[in-house]
């Protein structure tokens, strides 16, 4: 996808971070939020469907509770988010109402997207809302999330949302002009990358792991989000939220920010769902033969090709498949719990019944439940 093609795209996911919605962490900047709403309305008037992934609830809650710095304890973050989410959604709802547009609040955890039934339910809900002309506003459900199931940052949540609904464009707003070949905060000679293919190996090295005081991201999470979004063929735009009318300029195809172009064949919807599992319950170490078979033929993973395992996983949970050097090869849903799979590692499939007393499947991970890693 080139910039000129952006004008004809229909479905966008726009991620707006805390730094672009708040008064340096002192609550929401409603004037700035109103400007974001004005731009989204302009996109809708041009025929686009827009989903907003919005930060800001914790910062708003901090302001309402009189806290000066972001808390570290999970229960404090949950309290701030619960208080602040009220103000965040109220602000969006009132501003969009000025244009006769309804909004919908959707709070998710990674557990919602890992569960296939809930994944399909939330996808259907968002698609229905878009059909009705509603603007969905998505945030992580900080009030119930735990460290084990959290997305970690809204860049990742935005990318998985793009996969979820098959968005053509993901826009990630930041406080930088886009992706540079070095950290512009420390190197004034750093050059902006206007356009690149998302599969380029060097763009990860270019991305700084540093984030702002309020945000949890940094450019690295934005690049990784672009790679995740590319699974559904989604192009990613990383641009400065400080630029006036930035969304309108991007939609017009203007050369601002960084366009990361998906250049690999999109995954199927089920493969996207499998690849979107951020939390794995275990690890399977494969021999060289099994690695070669998975990469070349797309067959199921048989127990004979697994040398050892790690983790206390249950049947149907996500496991990561790695080579003997620890490099991830694939991930998928395992057919046997850890206490049973350990008994059949390295064994031919016809021995499963003898070793376990039953056969759930001839494979440890069936090819329909397995996706190769990038």
Q: State residue 321's pLDDT score.
A: 95
| Comparison of pLDDT for 27 and 170, the residue scoring more | 170
What's the pLDDT tens digit per position in 230-260? 989 999 999 999 999 999 999 999 999 999 9
pLDDT, average across residues 206-210: 62
Query: What digits encode the pLDDT tens for the residues 84-115?
Result: 999 999 999 999 999 999 999 999 887 788 88
Asked whether the predicted pLDDT for residue 279 surpasses 80, the reply is no
Asked if 178 and 238 touch (Cβ cutoff 8 Å), the reply is yes
The answer as to CATH 3.10.20.30 being correct for domain 280-372 is no
Task: Indicate if the alpha-carbon torsion angle 45, 86, 131, 269 is positive or negative.
Answer: positive
Q: Is the pLDDT of residue 175 over 80?
A: yes
Say whether pLDDT at 17 is over 90: no
Q: What is the pLDDT of residue 215?
A: 40
* pLDDT for the residue 101: 98
**Domains of the chain by residue range:** 3-272, 280-372
pLDDT for 214? 41
How many Cβ atoms are within 10 Å of 226's Cβ, its own excluded? 29
* Confidence tier at 298 by pLDDT (50, 70, 90): confident
Which CATH number, 3.40.1190.20, 3.40.1160.10, 2.40.50.140, 3.30.365.10, labels domain 3-272? 3.40.1160.10
Q: What b-and-e string marks burial along 342-363, b requiring 16 or more CB atoms within 10 Å of the CB?
A: eebbeeebeebeeeeeeeebeb
Q: Would you place residue 189 in the very low, low, confident or very high pLDDT band (cuts 50, 70, 90)? A: confident
Assess contact for 38 and 193: CB atoms under 8 A: no
Average pLDDT, stretch 69-97? Answer: 90
331: left (phi over 0), alpha (psi -120 to 50) or beta: beta
Mean pLDDT confidence for 167-176? 93
Residue 209 has what pLDDT? 59
pLDDT for the residue numbered 169: 96
Binned at pLDDT 50, 70 and 90, residue 152 comes out as: low
Query: Is the predicted pLDDT of residue 307 greater than 50, yes or no?
Result: yes
The CA distance from 325 to 79, in Å, is 43
Q: Per the confidence metrics, is the pTM higher than 0.85?
A: no
pLDDT band for 293, please (50, 70, 90 cuts).
very high
- What pLDDT, on the 0 to 100 scale, is given for residue 213? 43
pLDDT of residue 102: 97
Q: Calculate the CA dihedral of residues 270, 127, 125, 260 and round it to 10 degrees.
A: 60
8 A C-beta contact, residue 60 and residue 145? no
Distance CA 80, CA 65 (A): 7
pLDDT, residue 151, reads: 54
- Which among 362, 315, 367, 317 has a CA at the least distance from the CA of 340? 315
pLDDT at 150: 54
Average pLDDT of every residue of the chain: 88
How confident is the model over 5-22, as a mean pLDDT? 90
Residue 218: what are its φ and ψ, rounded to 5°? 100, 165
Q: What pLDDT was estimated at residue 203? A: 82
Closest to 23 (Cα-Cα) out of 32, 13, 12, 36: 32
Q: Which residues pair with 28 in a beta bridge?
A: 22
Whether the per-residue pLDDT at 332 is higher than 60: the answer is yes
Mean pLDDT of 217-222: 77
Dist CA 283 CA 308 (whole Å): 9
Can you point out the beta strands (E) in the chain? 11-16, 49-54, 103-108, 135-140, 169-174, 195-197, 235-240, 258-261, 282-286, 306-310, 318-322, 328-333, 370-372
Q: How far apart are CA 50 and CA 15, in angstroms?
A: 10
Section 73-79 average pLDDT: 85
Distance CA(7)–CA(29), nearest Å, equals: 29
Higher pLDDT, 144 or 348: 348
Separation of alpha carbons 257 and 269, rounded Å: 29
Better-scored residue on pLDDT, 320 or 70: 320
């Amino acid at each position: 996808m080139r910039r000129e093609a952006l004008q004809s795209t229909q479905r966008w996911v726009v991620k707006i971070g805390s730094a672009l919605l708040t008064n340096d962490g002192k609550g929401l900047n409603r004037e700035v939020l109103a400007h974001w709403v004005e731009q989204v309305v302009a996109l809708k008037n041009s025929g686009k469907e827009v989903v907003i992934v919005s930060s800001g609830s914790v910062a708003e809650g901090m302001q309402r509770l009189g806290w000066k710095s972001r808390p570290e304890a999970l229960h404090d973050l949950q309290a701030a988010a619960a208080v602040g989410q009220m103000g965040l959604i109220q602000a969006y709802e009132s501003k969009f109402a000025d244009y006769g547009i309804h909004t919908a609040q959707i709070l998710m955890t990674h557990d919602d997207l890992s569960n296939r039934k809930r994944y399909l339910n939330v996808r259907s809900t968002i698609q229905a809302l878009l059909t009705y002309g509603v603007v969905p506003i998505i945030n992580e459900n900080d009030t119930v999330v735990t460290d084990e199931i959290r997305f970690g940052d809204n860049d990742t949540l935005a990318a998985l949302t793009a996969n979820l609904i098959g968005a053509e464009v993901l826009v990630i707003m930041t406080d930088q002009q886009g992706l540079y070949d070095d950290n512009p905060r420390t190197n004034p000679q750093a050059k902006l990358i206007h356009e690149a293919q998302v599969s380029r190996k060097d763009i990860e090295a270019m991305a700084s792991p540093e984030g702002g005081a309020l945000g949890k991201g940094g450019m690295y999470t934005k690049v990784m989000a672009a790679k995740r979004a590319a699974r559904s063929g989604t192009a990613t735009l990383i641009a400065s939220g400080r630029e006036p009318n930035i969304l309108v300029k991007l939609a017009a195809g203007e050369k601002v920010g960084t366009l990361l172009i998906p250049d690999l064949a999109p995954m199927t919807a089920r493969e996207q769902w499998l690849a979107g599992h951020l939390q794995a319950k275990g690890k399977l170490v494969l021999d060289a033969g099994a690695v070669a078979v998975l990469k070349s033929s797309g067959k199921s993973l048989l127990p004979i090709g697994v040398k050892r395992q790690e983790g206390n996983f249950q049947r149907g949970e996500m496991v990561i498949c790695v080579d003997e050097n620890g490099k991830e090869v694939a991930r998928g849903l395992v057919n046997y719990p850890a206490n049973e799979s350990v008994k059949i590692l390295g064994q031919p499939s016809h021995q499963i019944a003898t070793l376990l007393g039953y056969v759930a499947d001839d494979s440890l991970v069936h090819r329909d439940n397995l996706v190769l890693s990038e």
